[in-house]
Amino acid sequence: MYILVVNAGSSSLKYQLFDMDTQEVAAKGNCDRIGIDGKLTHTAAGKDKIQKDISMPTHSQAVSVLIDTLTDKEYGCISSMSEISAVGHRIVHGGPWLIKSVRVDDEVLADLEKCRDLAPLHTVPHLLGIKGCMEVMPETPQVLVMDTAFHQTMPPEAYTYPIPHELAEKYKIRRYGFHGTSHRYVSGKAIEYLGNPNAKIVTCHLGNGSSISAVDGGKCVDTSMGFTPLEGVIMGSRCGAVDPAIIPFLMEKENIPVSEMGNWMNKKCGFLGVSGVSSDLREIEAAINEGNERATLAFNVLAYQIKKYIGSYTAAMNGLDCIVFTAGIGENNSDIRRLALENMSFYGIELDEEKNRQRDVVEISTENSRVKVLVIPTNEELVIASDTMKIVSES
């Protein structure tokens, strides 16, 4: 059984085709520069990567290109579109309406339309991607898997912002949380590894966008991202949590209009803003090695904030059995893991510095560490494919 996983952005459509019998990726690629000029990158398992300039003025045309490529005799891996049993779409924001993975019908599409207001930059391209797939593959079931869904189990005291209740209700303002598919995947893997379904886990998804979650017995009880993916720890170019008064203060002082402020908070802050070097932590580290103090500060801010979240989530869960690091930084940057977990023996956290430096080691805490520290590569696409398969098999 083949499941196609699609992640539609404003000018790109990333895809992975899963062979669900083996859970392996049969092919993956990206239809990029949609509506501009069109560039396809595609790799089928065991074959060479191809790159092609190919016109794709709309998302529908991008879907046609990807189907032609998947079924191409030379570059493809399936003989016809009918071999694809279903398509799973990654959806960033499901709002209060789409709270678990669901098969697309008119009602579901209407619910997703309502999310436009909450996350226009993501929802509009998602809708284009879904409608493109429905046009090109009208017989194939489509399933939505939301980044916000895993966080729906948070209690009200964790998801409520202290603003007037009526306004929160009217505009659906609450903590939603993001990267839920990743937090769900790595916490599930950690539970398996520990053999303890009741484990209290802090999952640290650290990439260009970063979020930290508290997962108690497999259920999310709190998470650092909020109403939008801007809240929480310092990120590549996003500010994370700041005193809200800073925003109107700067708007007034610097004459920044509302229309630009979102861009400023998303693109000009974080590592980039603090260091002045880059939003990429590898470049920050290179600058640190050259003695750049602002780069060092950006790095230290992230480590310190991770430490604070671990502390507060340990309190929230009344205990801690395991910390998981994942995503680009979490999986690859041993220095941030070391610095974030330094001086936490009080909590029963002891890092094995040698194991921490090695690659492909899952457990990086010492044998005596009461809290296990794990590095688990995330696989959001596999979760989307698995949910999609489950939903279409049941219906």
- Does residue 273 bind ligand ADP (CB under 6 A)? no
- Does residue 282 bind ligand ADP (CB under 6 A)? yes
DSSP class of residue 272 equals H
Tell me the C-alpha to C-alpha distance, in Å, between residue 261 and each of 195, 224, 251, 255. Answer: 46, 21, 8, 10
CA 315, 316, 322, 325 torsion-angle sign: negative
Q: How many residues bind ligand ADP (CB under 6 A)?
A: 12
- Does residue 209 bind ligand ADP (CB under 6 A)? yes
Options 160, 208, 300, 366; binder of ligand ADP; rule CB under 6 A: 208
Of 72 and 283, CB closest to ligand ADP: 283
- Output b/e per residue, 56-92; b: 16+ Cβ within 10 A: beebbbbbbbbbebbbeeebbbbeeeebbbbbbbbbb
Check 19, 32, 147, 387 and give the catalytic one: 147
According to DSSP, the β-strands at 200-206 and 210-216 are antiparallel
Q: Would you call 243 a catalytic residue per the annotation?
A: no
Options 77, 87, 143, 281; binder of ligand ADP; rule CB under 6 A: 281
Which structure tokens are listed for 310?
A: 């671990």
- Does residue 335 bind ligand ADP (CB under 6 A)? no
Options 280, 335, 350, 363; binder of ligand ADP; rule CB under 6 A: 280
Task: List, in sequence order, the alpha helices (H) in 30-87.
Answer: 59-70
- Does residue 225 bind ligand ADP (CB under 6 A)? no
- Does residue 207 bind ligand ADP (CB under 6 A)? yes
Stretch in the footprint of ligand ADP (CB under 6 A) among 123-131, 300-308, 325-333, 342-350: 325-333
Cα separation, 96 vs 159, whole angstroms: 12
- Does residue 9 bind ligand ADP (CB under 6 A)? no
| Shortest CB 236 distance to ligand ADP, Å | 6
Q: Could you tell me how many residues make up the chain?
A: 395
Query: What is the separation, in whole angstroms, between the first and last Cα of the chain?
Result: 16
Active site residues: 147
Binding site for ligand ADP (CB under 6 A): 207-209, 236, 280-282, 327-329, 332-333
